[in-house]
């Protein structure tokens, strides 16, 4: 494999990723770009099948009247994000969600659940002050992605499936993006794709934690590429943990997958190692407290337990009546049964599990980045959620900003041309990707487990400076050890072990950034909790972290939050607006 073997390929608009952001970008780019524009969509797996939008259970937050307003959705998003969100991004999210849901229903053809009068059914998740979440049962993501996927498959865009992006290649002066280096995973060959504009919509996905929910293909590749390209990353300490991941042993991929929020909402109880309910010791709302609070409660109970046979805590539903549970949570009951657990009548062991990444690349409200030609939308982009994402705001964010990215790129390409790459960077990225192929093969998995254990223990649900520093030392050890692990180069076609290696490379790089940002934030906000700094700090003085790769390695600085729409203590709601529109249960 030599540099000269790289196949060269040109397009006008290149989209990386086929979740809600990537697919919407493809549709909108077709609508907004001049006729004859070539659009290419590349994805690490199959179109619409990999990634996390498809895995959305809950639904889609959108203010559609009945007392609810864009202003109320916005205030919930700001309060939920503990005043760290970029307010202009959060506003645009809430405002455009209204348009996007009509587009999903009317143009894309989604089926959403209805009220008896035929209008869209909406429910309230934790942290919302209105019944706002549009859904299709508890499989909303499948419906949205299936319908989007059909549209894109039928649209005639160029498809590069099982093409993994490995490096962003700038122009020689570094001012703009020339294209993306990829591996065609099916053949193992390299492809350099030039484009006038590139959308990065690869999704975050904090799978460097022992327990995690995202799909197996997600390994922070987009953020790792952006870091190497020198882009600024914000809020990188903000990892959202879902409180109830299935615990079934470290030999099964089922471990870490989500047992849905609704189980606790319906009255599910969490039971510790001595058989006692414990959540009321931590919060007046008990099991119905927000995700971050319940995750910390479970984490604290796990630390108190010395029984090696039991790692997590149990969720128990049987007091609600096994038949009721089987009917209301059919999908969850079946999924647990496939792993050998009885959710309806028995107890199922659960742990907090890394779910969503609020951090991401610094972008403007039109998805543009500091690098001309590069756009970012969805979980790869930082800012909209601040320190905490509300349930239902994730798929709204990816579809809203994916569409905006498509519109923006379609307009921007009119004044853009293809650019010549910096061949030295191209060569360096190529060398980086083939590095393990010339070294003695060894197992990758033990190092991945080492990193995941370390991140879970030291940079997990609850953090301290001492722990984070141990974490950083350990990350460096794994990172170094990986460079001594080679991959069998007998055939590069569909060589999953090579990709396991590249996955772990990305995870190591971003783990270091998470740890450094976590050390820089000396307070506790939303998803980030410091045992040595348990207070949130004054909201008026809120700062967000910004990480960047420099000649001195990864450095983290802090920038003040600009309260461009509303200041802490104030609201954009009318003075007489009720605190919540949700009927108390």
Interface stretch with other proteins, choices 19-27, 39-47, 234-242, 311-319 (CB under 8 A): 39-47
CA of 87: how far to CAs of 157, 464, 480, in Å?
34, 29, 40
Q: Which residue's CB is nearer to other proteins, number 326 or number 521? A: 326
Check residue 308 for interaction with other proteins (CB under 8 A). Answer: no
Instruction: Count CB neighbours of 574 within 10 A.
Output: 8
Q: Which residue's CB is nearer to other proteins, number 325 or number 447? A: 447
- Examine the residue annotation and report whether 73 is marked as an active-site residue of this protein: no
Say which of 264, 368, 505, 521 is annotated catalytic. Answer: 264
Inter-axis angle of helices 496-520 and 445-458, to 10 degrees?
A: 20
| CB of residue 216 to other proteins, shortest distance in Å | 6
Check residue 494 for interaction with other proteins (CB under 8 A). Answer: yes
Size of the site for other proteins (CB under 8 A): 68
Check residue 154 for interaction with other proteins (CB under 8 A). Answer: yes
**Cβ contacts of 423 within 8 Å, gap of 6 or more:** none
| CB of residue 357 to other proteins, shortest distance in Å | 17
| CB of residue 467 to other proteins, shortest distance in Å | 29
| Cα 527 from chain centroid (whole Å) | 14
Residues from 244 through 283 that contact other proteins (CB under 8 A): 248-249, 251-254, 257
Measure the CA–CA gap between 373 and 2, rounded to whole angstroms: 28
Check residue 139 for interaction with other proteins (CB under 8 A). Answer: yes
Check residue 438 for interaction with other proteins (CB under 8 A). Answer: no
| CB of residue 449 to other proteins, shortest distance in Å | 10
CA dihedral of 15, 20, 26, 32, whole degrees rounded to 10: -120
* Cβ-contact 505, 225 below 8 angstroms: no
Measure the CA–CA gap between 70 and 311, rounded to whole angstroms: 43
Strand 197-200 with 13-16, pairing:
parallel
The token pair at 540 is 């008026």
What does the DSSP assignment read for 179-193?
Answer: EEEEEETTTTEEEEE
Check residue 158 for interaction with other proteins (CB under 8 A). Answer: no
Among 318, 464, 497, 548, binds other proteins (CB under 8 A): 497
244 by DSSP, 3-state: which? strand
Measure the CA–CA gap between 253 and 503, rounded to whole angstroms: 16
Q: Which residue's CB is nearer to other proteins, number 87 or number 495? A: 495
Interface stretch with other proteins, choices 85-93, 416-424, 490-498, 516-524 (CB under 8 A): 490-498
Measure the CA–CA gap between 53 and 203, rounded to whole angstroms: 9
Among 55, 169, 502, 527, binds other proteins (CB under 8 A): 55
Sign of the C-alpha dihedral computed for residues 234, 241, 376 and 182 taken in this order? positive
| CB of residue 249 to other proteins, shortest distance in Å | 6
Q: Which residue's CB is nearer to other proteins, number 12 or number 143? A: 143
Check residue 477 for interaction with other proteins (CB under 8 A). Answer: no
Check residue 500 for interaction with other proteins (CB under 8 A). Answer: yes
Check residue 453 for interaction with other proteins (CB under 8 A). Answer: no
Check residue 135 for interaction with other proteins (CB under 8 A). Answer: no
Q: Which residue's CB is nearer to other proteins, number 159 or number 470? A: 159
Among 197, 495, 519, 524, binds other proteins (CB under 8 A): 495
Measure the CA–CA gap between 271 and 422, rounded to whole angstroms: 58
Give the helix/strand (H/E) hosting 457: helix 445-458
Among 19, 51, 81, 203, binds other proteins (CB under 8 A): 51
Residues from 97 through 126 that contact other proteins (CB under 8 A): 99-103, 105-109, 111, 113-114, 117-120
Q: Which residue's CB is nearer to other proteins, number 118 or number 275? A: 118
| CB of residue 50 to other proteins, shortest distance in Å | 4
Which residue in 502, 451, 579, 584 sits closest to 67, CA to CA?
579
Check residue 488 for interaction with other proteins (CB under 8 A). Answer: yes
Which residue in 294, 233, 150 sits closest to 511, CA to CA?
233
| CB of residue 27 to other proteins, shortest distance in Å | 11
Which residue in 132, 216, 179 sits closest to 16, CA to CA?
179
Q: What are the b/e assignments for 551-567, b being 16+ CB within 10 Å?
A: eeebebeeeebeeeebe
Residues from 185 through 204 that contact other proteins (CB under 8 A): 186
Q: % helix / strand / coil in the chain, to the nearest 5?
A: 40, 20, 45
Compute φ and ψ for 393, nearest 5 degrees: -90, -10
Among 46, 370, 462, 572, binds other proteins (CB under 8 A): 46
Say which of 54, 242, 355, 448 is annotated catalytic. Answer: 242
Among 66, 216, 534, 560, binds other proteins (CB under 8 A): 216
Interface stretch with other proteins, choices 221-229, 282-290, 367-375, 491-499 (CB under 8 A): 491-499
What does the DSSP assignment read for 344-379?
Answer: TTSEEEEEEEEEEE--EE---TTSB-SSBTEEE-GG
- Residues designated as active site: 242, 264
Site residues, other proteins (CB under 8 A): 45-47, 49-51, 54-55, 64, 99-103, 105-109, 111, 113-114, 117-120, 137, 139, 141-143, 146-147, 150-151, 153-154, 161, 186, 215-217, 248-249, 251-254, 257, 335, 338-341, 441, 443-445, 487-488, 490-491, 493-497, 500
């Amino acid at each position: 494999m030599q540099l000269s073997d790289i196949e060269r390929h040109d397009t006008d608009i290149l989209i990386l990723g086929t979740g809600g952001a990537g697919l919407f970008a493809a549709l909108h780019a077709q609508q907004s770009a001049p006729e004859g524009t070539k659009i290419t969509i590349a994805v690490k797996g199959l179109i619409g099948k990999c990634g996390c939008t498809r895995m959305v259970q809950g639904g889609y937050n959108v203010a559609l009247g009945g007392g609810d307003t864009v202003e109320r959705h916005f205030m919930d998003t700001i309060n939920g994000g503990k005043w760290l969100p970029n307010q202009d991004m959060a506003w645009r999210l809430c405002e455009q969600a209204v348009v996007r849901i009509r587009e999903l229903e009317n143009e894309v053809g989604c089926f959403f659940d209805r009220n008896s009068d035929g209008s869209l059914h909406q429910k309230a998740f934790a942290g919302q002050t209105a019944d706002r979440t549009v859904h299709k049962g508890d499989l909303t993501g499948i419906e949205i992605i299936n319908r989007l996927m059909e549209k894109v498959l039928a649209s005639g865009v160029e498809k590069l499936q099982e093409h993994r992006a490995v490096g962003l290649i700038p122009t020689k002066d570094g001012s703009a993006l020339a294209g993306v280096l990829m591996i065609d995973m099916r053949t193992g060959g390299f492809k350099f794709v030039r484009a006038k504009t590139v959308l990065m919509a690869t999704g975050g996905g904090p799978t460097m934690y022992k327990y995690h929910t995202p799909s197996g293909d997600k390994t922070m590749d987009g953020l790792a590429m952006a870091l190497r390209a020198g882009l600024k990353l914000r809020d990188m300490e903000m990892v959202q943990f879902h409180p109830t991941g299935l615990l079934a042993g470290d030999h099964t991929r089922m471990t870490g997958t989500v047992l849905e929020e609704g189980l606790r909402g319906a009255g599910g109880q969490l039971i510790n190692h001595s058989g006692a309910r414990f959540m009321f010791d931590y919060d007046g709302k008990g099991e119905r407290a927000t995700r971050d609070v319940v995750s910390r409660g479970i984490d604290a109970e796990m630390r108190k337990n010395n029984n090696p046979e039991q790692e997590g805590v149990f969720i128990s539903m049987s007091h609600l009546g096994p038949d009721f549970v089987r009917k209301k949570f059919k999908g969850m009951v079946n999924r647990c049964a496939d792993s050998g657990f009885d959710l309806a009548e028995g107890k199922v062991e659960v742990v907090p599990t890394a779910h969503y990444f609020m951090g991401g690349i610094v972008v403007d409200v039109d998805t543009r980045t500091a690098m001309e030609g590069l756009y970012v939308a969805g979980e790869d982009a930082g800012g909209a959620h601040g320190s905490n994402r509300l349930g239902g705001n994730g798929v709204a964010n990816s579809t809203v900003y994916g569409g905006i990215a498509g519109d923006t790129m379609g307009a921007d390409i009119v004044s853009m041309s293809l650019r010549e790459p910096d061949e030295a960077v191209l060569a360096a990225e190529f060398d980086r990707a083939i590095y393990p192929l010339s070294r003695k093969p060894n197992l990758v998995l033990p190092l991945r487990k080492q990193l995941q254990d370390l991140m879970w223990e030291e940079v997990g649900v609850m953090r301290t400076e001492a722990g984070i520093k141990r974490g950083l030392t350990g990350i460096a050890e794994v990172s170094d050890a990986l460079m001594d692990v080679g991959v069998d180069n007998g055939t590069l076609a569909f060589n999953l072990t090579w990709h396991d290696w590249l996955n772990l490379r990305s995870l190591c790089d971003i783990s270091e950034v998470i740890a450094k940002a976590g050390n820089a934030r000396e307070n506790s906000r939303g998803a980030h909790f410091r045992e040595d700094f348990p207070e949130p700090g004054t909201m008026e003085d809120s700062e967000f972290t910004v990480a960047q790769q420099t000649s001195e390695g990864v450095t983290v600085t802090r920038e003040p939050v600009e309260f461009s729409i509303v200041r802490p203590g104030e609201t954009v709601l009318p003075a007489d607006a009720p605190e919540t529109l949700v009927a108390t249960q």
